[in-house]
């Protein structure tokens, strides 16, 4: 498949490619350079975390209170 670049540097992504990538109006995409030098189009998952460490962040749920943790670290019985 091929497409033509406009004077503004815009291209129309062929319908088959849009369907394959699951992108539509308003979708955000990223251009990445592969190790072999090719440039690939990757849809940006808006739900994904931006930091590679973001998946480790969050709330573990109800746990020990601060006082309980301090008592444990001090060896209080």
Looking at the structure of the chain, the number of domains it has is 1
Cα–Cα dist 49/45, whole Å: 9
Q: How confident is the model at residue 74 (pLDDT cuts 50, 70, 90)?
A: confident
Q: Is residue 8 part of a domain?
A: no
Residue 5: inside a domain? no
pTM over 0.95? The answer is no
- The answer to whether position 64 is within a domain reads yes
Buried b or exposed e, range 41-56, using 16+ CB within 10 angstroms: eeeeeeeeeeeeeeee
Domain that holds residue 28: 15-74
| Residue 70 reports pLDDT greater than 90 | no
Contact in structure between 16 and 23 (CB atoms under 8 Å) = no
* 7 within some domain: no
pLDDT in tens, 5-50: 999 999 999 999 999 988 899 899 999 999 999 999 988 876 554 5
């Amino acid at each position: 498949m091929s497409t033509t670049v406009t004077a503004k540097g815009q291209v129309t992504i062929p319908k088959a490619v849009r369907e394959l990538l699951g992108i539509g109006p308003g979708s955000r995409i990223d251009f990445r350079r592969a190790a072999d030098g090719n440039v690939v189009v990757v849809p940006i998952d808006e739900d994904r975390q931006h930091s590679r460490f973001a998946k480790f962040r969050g709330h573990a749920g109800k746990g020990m209170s601060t006082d309980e943790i301090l008592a444990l670290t001090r060896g209080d019985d």
